[in-house]
């Protein structure tokens, strides 16, 4: 018999309230995700009517989204403080539970149930463990039906508040995936935080409670299955204990749950996937959390001014003050420290002096500001640049140039509240990219370098066009990206390695694609297996090598392509004398071209002779064959298709590429002793890690641990298909690594980014910490 108890244990009540507090603290990020999804939906329409509906949904959420967040927070908090009614110890017959309810109530419960199920699938294990600990405190077998720890309760309140704030159900359906995805991450954090609270209080799960499964209203077969799960010592049981029983409708469940073990395995796998979230996903979540917190701070202090994404007009007084500041160049912003040799260098003292100038300038501008929004923006930007100038890992010369961007960035932030809401604003992206590239250089290495010159040029261009806002930032950001692609690979050995790596990837990709096309051409032709094997394993490589080295339409490459068709014809049956005479006449030239191709591929003479003997034996057998000959028209069609083979291959990734130092030396004949080549070698990283590897940014610095040697390396290049990555060290050595092995190194901690978060994000977080310590400074003048 199932028992429940009113959750009156002080620690259980405190846990529920802590759980809700953790979730409500992140509702701003959920709202931001909804806003982003509704914005994306505007670009994915197929009719005028649909466009209007989605525009209405977007507009309504702009005006009511904040109210919805507050209403959900209040509803969840009330539920956490309330004492849910105890469930009767004996199940009430279903017929007695029938009541008349409105369609809206039914639809709310259906939608909430589906959302709750999605959350359970993503955060199964940690939530199950938390529920077990709380049940142990309450001395109950199950949670009350309206317990706030149940996702069904949370989602029903969320849906009800959506409609209560006059937001249409259709717009929630449009954004439901974003809500589920964002809430799953925060739900996991809340579970972990509550677990830590309970463990610190000495609460542990006992062996019996952990494996309990609710048995009420379950068929005999399902009861037997539950008993089997209870007796089986598997890690999956902790998850099963919090899932509705197979074949039973839960209190808010729209349809029976699947009864197969596959679904439970999916629950477990998804829960583990979220628990083992990749660093890339965690970084994005952390970034959204910081930006969400910033938006809340600004909105609370400025009466919601920053909820709008529309362009803002400056008040006249501040506009004049900004214009005056832009035209005045403070000498302290330009003067460096004189070196012993008479030159000028920027040192830490230069940065301190510049930081003082910027703080004084910000104070003067705040005095000219006419609204709380302007004052808050000026203070936030000032605090961000204080943090950037304090980043001692960036050379002082670069930080001094960054200081001159504070005023242009302030102009953009005042005009575009979006600057505070996304990491993709070009002003943020530009500072982040320049900062990450300069991170690994010391003052000596950066001084007079092309990188310093480019950063100086970028800043000067922005200063020349102060009125253009984000457009000039976008322009110079794109230019800086192009500069990086050349700058990082133009030095010495790196340029050679990049050239080789590009050709290696191109050659191996073409070889795979040529093999596929040859298989397609020969699938209906009576061709001997020996010839097929030679064409697929050797000649496709020859064609790819020739195409890369000489070009796909070079005379020699075209001749090699024609040789493939000639070989197929020569190895087919020759029932008449004229064909046999033609083969005998053309055979020496054909074999000579085959040898030339294998020489280009780097095969040794003994290896070549093995292939030539096998082909010669096959041709001799063709003379004696009585089978049907291949029509000349088909041979001509094959030759024509081979001549234009590149028109038929795709650009899709062809999987793993063979890679080693010998391949590199073979391609261009260079000495590969200064290159560490790290092939995939059967590496099997998680998909999340592969995705992270593909999103690494050029110019970022890493700590690489390879063969007991630790070095600081910079990502200098990645191939077009993201199969190969080149890292360059300050000592001139290069490391060429394939995508899967790179992901495995990231997963094992053998390659660690030197920056865990972007420069402007870190600056934003530190600004918030200062405001948290002293909230009054945001609007103080």
| Residue range 516-533, pLDDT digits in tens | 878 888 877 878 888 888
Would the pTM count as exceeding 0.75?
A: no
The pLDDT, as a whole number, for residue 762 is 92
* Max mean pLDDT range (42-56, 102-116, 484-498, 740-754): 740-754
- The residue ranges of DSSP E strands in 565-700, in sequence order, are 675-678
Does 4 score more than 70 pLDDT?
no
| Residue range 110-120, pLDDT digits in tens | 888 889 888 88
pLDDT band for position 348 (cuts 50, 70, 90): confident
The pLDDT, as a whole number, for residue 657 is 53
Q: Identify the burial level of 70 via C-beta atoms within 10 angstroms of its C-beta, where 0-12 means exposed, 13-18 middle and 19 or more buried.
A: middle
What is the rounded radius of gyration, in angstroms, for the C-alpha atoms of the chain? Answer: 34
| Residue range 327-345, pLDDT digits in tens | 665 555 555 554 444 445 6
Does 269 score more than 80 pLDDT?
no
Backbone dihedral region of 166: left (phi > 0), alpha (psi from -120 to 50 degrees) or beta?
Answer: left
Residue with token string 């910081």: 290
Between 227 and 421, residue with greater pLDDT? 421
The pLDDT, as a whole number, for residue 546 is 87
Between 95 and 658, residue with greater pLDDT? 658
Of 300, 320, 299, nearest to 308 by C-alpha is: 299
Q: Residue 172 is encoded by which pair of tokens? A: 């929630």
Backbone dihedral region of 668: left (phi > 0), alpha (psi from -120 to 50 degrees) or beta?
Answer: alpha
pLDDT band for position 644 (cuts 50, 70, 90): low
Of the candidate ranges 240-254, 303-317, 465-479, 536-550, the one whose mean pLDDT is the lowest: 240-254
> What's the Cα-to-Cα distance from 243 to each of 121, 249, 543, rounded to whole Å?
10, 11, 58
The pLDDT, as a whole number, for residue 334 is 52
d(CA 679, CA 726): 12
pLDDT band for position 251 (cuts 50, 70, 90): very low
Between 746 and 323, residue with greater pLDDT? 746
The pLDDT, as a whole number, for residue 445 is 64
Q: What is the mean pLDDT of the chain?
A: 77
Does 229 score more than 50 pLDDT?
no
Could you tell me if 680 and 741 are in contact, meaning their C-beta atoms sit under 8 angstroms apart? yes
pLDDT band for position 761 (cuts 50, 70, 90): very high
| Residue range 385-405, pLDDT digits in tens | 999 999 988 988 899 999 999
């Amino acid at each position: 018999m199932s028992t429940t108890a009113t959750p009156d244990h002080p620690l259980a009540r405190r846990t529920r309230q802590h759980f809700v507090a953790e979730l409500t603290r992140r509702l701003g990020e959920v709202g931001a995700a909804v806003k982003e999804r509704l914005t994306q939906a505007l670009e994915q329409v197929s009719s005028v009517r649909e466009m209007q509906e989605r525009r209405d949904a977007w507009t309504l959420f702009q005006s009511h989204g904040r109210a919805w967040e507050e209403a959900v927070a209040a509803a969840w908090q009330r539920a956490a403080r309330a004492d849910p009614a105890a469930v009767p110890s004996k199940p009430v017959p279903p017929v007695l539970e029938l009541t008349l309810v409105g369609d809206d109530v039914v639809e709310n419960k259906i939608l909430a149930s589906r959302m709750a199920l999605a959350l359970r699938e993503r955060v199964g294990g940690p939530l199950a463990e938390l529920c077990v600990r709380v049940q142990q405190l309450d001395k109950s077998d199950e949670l009350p039906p309206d317990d706030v720890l149940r996702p069904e309760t949370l989602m029903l309140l969320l849906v009800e508040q959506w409609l209560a704030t006059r937001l249409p159900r259709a717009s929630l359906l449009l954004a439901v995936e974003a809500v589920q995805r964002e809430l799953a991450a925060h739900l996991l954090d809340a579970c972990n935080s509550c677990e830590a609270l309970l463990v610190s209080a000495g609460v542990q799960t006992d062996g019996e409670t952990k494996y309990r499964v609710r048995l009420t209203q379950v068929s005999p077969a399902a009861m037997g299955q539950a008993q089997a799960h209870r007796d089986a010592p598997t890690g999956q049981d902790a998850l099963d204990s919090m899932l509705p029983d197979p074949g039973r409708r839960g209190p808010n469940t729209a349809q029976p749950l699947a009864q197969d073990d596959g679904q439970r395995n999916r629950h477990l796998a998804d829960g583990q996937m979220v628990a083992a979230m990749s660093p890339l996903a965690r970084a994005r979540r952390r970034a959204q959390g910081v930006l969400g917190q910033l938006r809340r701070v600004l909105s609370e202090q400025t009466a919601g001014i920053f909820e709008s994404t529309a362009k803002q007009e400056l008040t006249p007084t501040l506009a004049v003050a900004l214009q005056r500041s832009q035209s005045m160049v403070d000498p302290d912003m330009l003067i460096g420290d004189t070196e012993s040799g008479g030159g000028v260098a920027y040192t830490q003292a230069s940065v301190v002096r510049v930081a003082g100038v910027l703080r004084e300038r910000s104070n003067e501008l705040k005095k000219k500001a006419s609204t709380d929004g302007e004052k808050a923006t000026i203070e936030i930007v000032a605090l961000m640049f204080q943090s950037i100038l304090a980043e001692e890992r960036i050379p002082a010369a670069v930080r001094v140039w960054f200081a001159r961007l504070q005023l242009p960035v302030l102009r953009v932030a005042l005009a575009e509240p979006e600057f505070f809401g996304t990491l993709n604003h070009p002003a943020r992206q530009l500072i982040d990219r320049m900062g990450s590239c300069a991170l690994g250089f010391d003052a000596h290495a950066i001084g007079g370098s092309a990188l310093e010159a480019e950063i100086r040029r970028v800043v000067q261009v922005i200063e020349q066009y102060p009125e253009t806002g984000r457009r000039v930032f976008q322009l110079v950001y794109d230019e800086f990206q192009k500069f990086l692609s050349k700058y990082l690979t133009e030095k010495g050995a790196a340029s050679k390695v990049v050239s080789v790596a590009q050709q290696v990837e191109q050659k191996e990709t073409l070889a795979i694609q040529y093999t596929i096309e040859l298989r397609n051409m020969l699938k209906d032709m009576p061709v001997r297996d020996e010839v097929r094997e030679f064409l697929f394993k050797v000649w496709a490589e020859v064609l790819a090598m020739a195409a890369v080295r000489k070009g796909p339409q070079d005379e020699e490459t075209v001749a090699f392509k024609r040789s493939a068709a000639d070989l197929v014809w020569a190895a087919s049956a020759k029932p008449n004398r004229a064909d046999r005479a033609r083969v005998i006449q053309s055979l020496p030239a054909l074999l000579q071209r085959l040898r030339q191709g294998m020489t280009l591929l780097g095969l040794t003479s003994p290896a070549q002779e093995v292939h030539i003997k096998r082909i010669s034996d096959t041709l001799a057998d063709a003379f004696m064959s009585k089978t049907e000959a291949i029509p000349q028209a088909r041979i001509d069609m094959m030759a024509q298709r081979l001549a234009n083979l590149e028109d038929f291959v795709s650009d899709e990734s062809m999987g793993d590429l063979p890679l080693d130092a010998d391949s590199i030396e073979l391609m261009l004949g260079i000495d590969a002793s200064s290159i560490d080549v790290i092939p995939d070698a059967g590496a099997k990283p998680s998909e999340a890690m592969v995705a992270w590897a593909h999103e690494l940014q050029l110019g970022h610095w890493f700590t690489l641990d390879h063969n007991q040697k630790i070095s600081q390396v910079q990502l200098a290049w990645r191939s077009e298909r993201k199969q190969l990555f080149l890292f360059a060290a300050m000592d001139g050595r290069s490391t060429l690594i394939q995508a899967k092995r790179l992901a495995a190194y990231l997963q094992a901690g053998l390659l660690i980014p030197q920056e865990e978060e972007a420069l402007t994000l870190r600056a934003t977080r530190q600004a918030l910490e200062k405001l948290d310590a002293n909230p009054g400074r945001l609007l103080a003048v």
